[in-house]
Chain A
Amino acid sequence: MEHQSLYQYLLTLGDNALILGQRLGELCGHGPSLETDIACTNIALDLLGQTRSCFQYASKQLDGKSEDDVAFLRKENEYTNVLLVEQPNNDFAFVITRQYFFDVYHLMLMEWLSANSADETVKAIANKAVKEARYHRRFSSDWMLRLGDGTQESHQRVLAAVEALWPYTQEFFVPSEAEAWAASAGIGPDLASFKAAYYNDVEALLEQATVPIPENPYFQKGGKQGRHTEHMGYLLADLQYMQRTYPNMTW
């Protein structure tokens, strides 16, 4: 029972990194400039590394599963990532805004886990990830300011991205069953306690970037329970194609 709960919690940690990493990986060779292309794919590789650490540990909780099974062979409704990270790369402003909204949360989470998690392996994974998360947040905040307070074109685009992605930000703070279990076991944080600090940080940066804070009172959720947006199926088709076509293939 405890193994099953820990498995589910590790999926939650790993899936966010896996799916966002996959989205960023789509930019490989398609970034707006050589330098931003490399930066985004570097972040994708960091996230993939974090995913592997989570899934290697997760696969040990269930007999007979490998990290590849966990990553590639689940059905759509078994992925527990938040809806934000599966949203498509509409343009560079979307890529950066999605990244920034995630990074603020991700860094808070990794800092908490690396300092407080009662599970030594989770703590070690977070300890390695926290430096990366710090850099990611720095990168995406810098770009939020540049785009928001940049040209009229970049301002309009980031405004549209913030409006579109804002409704996906609250899902972080509504714990799933696995996250509630982790909080009660001292392995994970009480997510609701992050909420005020998260919105303080994000709203301060948006103000600096001259982007008004959206007034949308409706928030989307469901990703953590496996109810995904229409973009998820296409993403998984790309992600899973090789393993499904050539089962057990390795490089």
Chain B
Amino acid sequence: MEKKNWPLWEVFVRSKNGLEHRHFGSLHAADATMALENARDVYTRRNEGVSIWVVESKHITASNPENHGELFEPAQDKVYRHPTFYDLPDEVKHM
């Protein structure tokens, strides 16, 4: 019998309120409802999260590794582009 694979989904989990959703991994599911349930079982059974997003992997547009140079390697000599001259108060977390 032909084995059909379910589509691939990417899973994003918010680990606690106030934090952003982070990419946790991917899984297979027949539709969005099943993807959410599978994500709950695969990624959040040990109190890892308070909220889950799933998106079918085919809807993600990815950058091309061949363009790495022009996209991700800016000149390093423009120090004014890097906001490293500010003192951050301790209360500001997750920056």
Give A contacts to B, CB under 8 Å: 33-36, 38-39, 42, 138-139, 142, 146
Return the chain A residue nearest B5 by Cβ.
Answer: A33
Also in contact, A35 and B29, with CB within 8 A (given A42-B41, A42-B45) = yes
A35 CA to B45 CA, complexed, in Å:
13
Q: Chain A residues with Cβ under 8 A from B55's Cβ?
A: none
Give the nearest-CB partner of A153 in chain B.
B1
- CB–CB B41/A33 < 8 A: no
- Which one of B12-20, B32-40, B62-70, B79-87 contacts A? B32-40
Query: Within 8 Å of chain A (Cβ to Cβ): is B28?
Result: yes
B6: A residues at CB distance < 8 A? 33
Task: Indicate if the CB atoms of B45 and A33 lie closer than 8 Å.
Answer: no
Q: Chain A: which residue is nearest B31 at the CB level?
A: A146
In the bound complex, CA of A39 to CA of B38 (Å): 7
Contacts of B45 in A (CB 8 A): 42
B37:A139 contact, CB within 8 angstroms? yes
A-B contact count (CB 8 A): 27
Known: A38-B42, A42-B45. A33 touches B28 (CB 8 A): yes
Apart from A34-B28, A35-B38, A138-B37, 8 more pairs, CB < 8 Å: A34-B42, A35-B41, A38-B41, A38-B42, A39-B37, A42-B45, A142-B37, A146-B34
**B residues adjacent to A (C-beta < 8 A):** 6, 27-30, 33-34, 37-38, 41-42, 45
Alpha-carbon separation in the docked complex, A138 to B38 (Å):
12
Give bound CA distance, A151 to B6, whole Å. Answer: 14
Which chain A residue shows the least CB distance to B1?
Answer: A153
> Nearest Cβ distance between residue A236 and chain B, in whole angstroms?
28
CB-defined contacts of B33 to chain A, threshold 8 Å: 142
Query: Which residues of chain A are within 8 angstroms of B42 by Cβ–Cβ distance?
Result: 34-35, 38
- Interface contact B28-A146, CB-CB below 8 Å: no
16 A-B Cβ contacts within 8 A?
A33-B28, A35-B27, A35-B29, A35-B38, A35-B42, A36-B38, A38-B38, A38-B41, A38-B42, A39-B37, A39-B41, A42-B41, A138-B37, A139-B37, A142-B37, A146-B30
Kindly list chain A residues whose C-beta atoms are within 8 Å of the C-beta of B38: 35-36, 38-39
Which of B6, B29, B33, B34 has the largest count of A CB atoms less than 10 A from its CB? B34
